[in-house]
Amino acid sequence: MSTPLKIAVHGAAGRMGRRVVALASEDSALELVAAMENDQHPLLGQDAGDLAGVDTLDIALSSKWPNDADVVIDFSLPEAIDRCIEKCVLHETALVVATTGMTDAQVERLNEASESIPIVWAPSMSLAVNLSMKLAQQITEKLLDVPGGLDIEIIERHHRYKADAPSGTALKFGDLIAEKLGDDTKHVHGREGHTGQRTRNEIGYHAVRVGDNPGEHTIVFGMLGERIELNVAASSRDCYAAGALAAAKWLSDKPEGMYDMFDVLEM
């Protein structure tokens, strides 16, 4: 039997971190070796398994960084990502980043870190979302020259607690679609007042925040006389946790570099 992959979860007390801990505890190919939070977190010292609603794992929530992890999975906040990057580089630990809302400077630090460690970074760890992104690109490419023109709008729905808008996933959809539309694509966020006629080279974004929605994205491809709506929706957060764990397994034997979920899915 092969040795289990040792993983650590950064942001382990959050909604997503707890689900990563829970699913990892059920996977014999994985061994949870650390569950990390910031040094002021009120739940420090509590067992990660108890927090995740599974059996006690004898892994205390801690601000200390492990030195024996093979891969760190980060589901934290932008204000915590700098320390995570620094520690992973210091310990030469592979890193899966699912945190969204990072600044340009943080993205640059992440890219610099990928020169010394392997990193998977994606705005969504969902396998279905990433497959849908490829479909969105293919649809755009095939309809570029459709008679009457093509209009593309992105509608995303998330829970009331989400702090950034539009979602990182919606922005990624837009960036991938824009690659097919061309360099003059405009990204328009919401509409209000007398905006005038819709231009032909724009992508519209609309963010909805309701209840406990774990994430839903609808890409509307509008033409004269017909439309396509590509919808991908999560029914629970487990799809993101499962995707992050799949990324960790895939990343474990990769050389330094920046990867994404398309690489994980070999698309």
* CATH number of the domain encompassing residue 21: 3.40.50.720
Average confidence (pLDDT) over 52-65: 96
What's the sign of the alpha-carbon dihedral 195, 200, 201, 204? Answer: positive
Question: Do residues 164 and 74 both lie within one domain?
Answer: no
What is the span of the domain harbouring residue 76?
5-125+237-264
Q: How many helices (H) and strands (E) does the chain have?
A: 8, 12
- Ligand-binding annotation for 136, yes or no, is no
Question: Do residues 132 and 119 both lie within one domain?
Answer: no
3-state secondary structure of 226: strand
Question: Do residues 23 and 91 both lie within one domain?
Answer: yes
Whole-number average pLDDT of the chain? 95
Structure tokens at 259: 């990867």
Is the preceding peptide bond at 123 cis, omega within 30 degrees of 0? no
Q: What's the confidence (pLDDT) of residue 25?
A: 96
**Is the pLDDT reported for residue 183 higher than 90?**
no
Average confidence (pLDDT) over 14-22: 96
Q: What's the confidence (pLDDT) of residue 71?
A: 98
**Is the pLDDT reported for residue 59 higher than 90?**
yes
In angstroms, the CA 57 to CA 25 distance is 8
Supply φ then ψ for residue 29, to 5 degrees: -85, -5
Question: Do residues 101 and 143 both lie within one domain?
Answer: no
What tens digit of pLDDT does each residue of 2-12 get?
Answer: 799 999 999 99
Residue 118 CB neighbours (<10 A): 23
- Ligand-binding annotation for 13, yes or no, is yes
pLDDT band at 239 (very low <50, low <70, confident <90, very high): very high
Question: Do residues 16 and 103 both lie within one domain?
Answer: yes
What tens digit of pLDDT does each residue of 36-51 get?
Answer: 999 999 999 999 999 9
Question: Do residues 119 and 251 both lie within one domain?
Answer: yes
Question: Do residues 138 and 220 both lie within one domain?
Answer: yes
Domain count within the chain: 2
- Ligand-binding annotation for 14, yes or no, is yes
- Ligand-binding annotation for 99, yes or no, is yes
Question: Do residues 118 and 135 both lie within one domain?
Answer: no
The residue ranking higher by pLDDT, 192 or 219, is 219
Residue 252's identity, in one-letter code, is S
- Ligand-binding annotation for 140, yes or no, is no
pLDDT band at 1 (very low <50, low <70, confident <90, very high): low
CATH number at residue 161: 3.30.360.10
Count the residues in the chain.
267
- Ligand-binding annotation for 94, yes or no, is no
Strand ranges in 37-92 using DSSP code E only, listed in sequence order: 61-62, 71-74
Question: Do residues 216 and 249 both lie within one domain?
Answer: no
- Ligand-binding annotation for 168, yes or no, is yes
In angstroms, the CA 106 to CA 110 distance is 6
- Ligand-binding annotation for 124, yes or no, is yes
Average confidence (pLDDT) over 123-147: 95
- Ligand-binding annotation for 102, yes or no, is no
Catalytic center residues: 158, 162
Question: Do residues 78 and 133 both lie within one domain?
Answer: no
| Integer angstrom CA distances of residue 196 from 26, 154, 192, 199, 224 | 54, 19, 10, 9, 19
Token pair 């004898």 in the structure block, residue: 58
In angstroms, the CA 26 to CA 20 distance is 10
Q: What's the confidence (pLDDT) of residue 232?
A: 97
Average confidence (pLDDT) over 27-37: 97
Question: Do residues 118 and 241 both lie within one domain?
Answer: yes
Question: Do residues 99 and 143 both lie within one domain?
Answer: no
What tens digit of pLDDT does each residue of 98-133 get?
Answer: 988 899 999 999 999 999 999 999 988 999 999 999
In angstroms, the CA 13 to CA 41 distance is 9
Q: What's the confidence (pLDDT) of residue 200?
A: 86
In this prediction the pTM is 0.84
Structure tokens at 120: 């998977």
Percent of the chain with pLDDT over 70: 100
Q: What's the confidence (pLDDT) of residue 167?
A: 93
Cβ atoms of 19 and 52 within 8 Å: the answer is yes
**Is the pLDDT reported for residue 163 higher than 90?**
no
- Ligand-binding annotation for 112, yes or no, is no
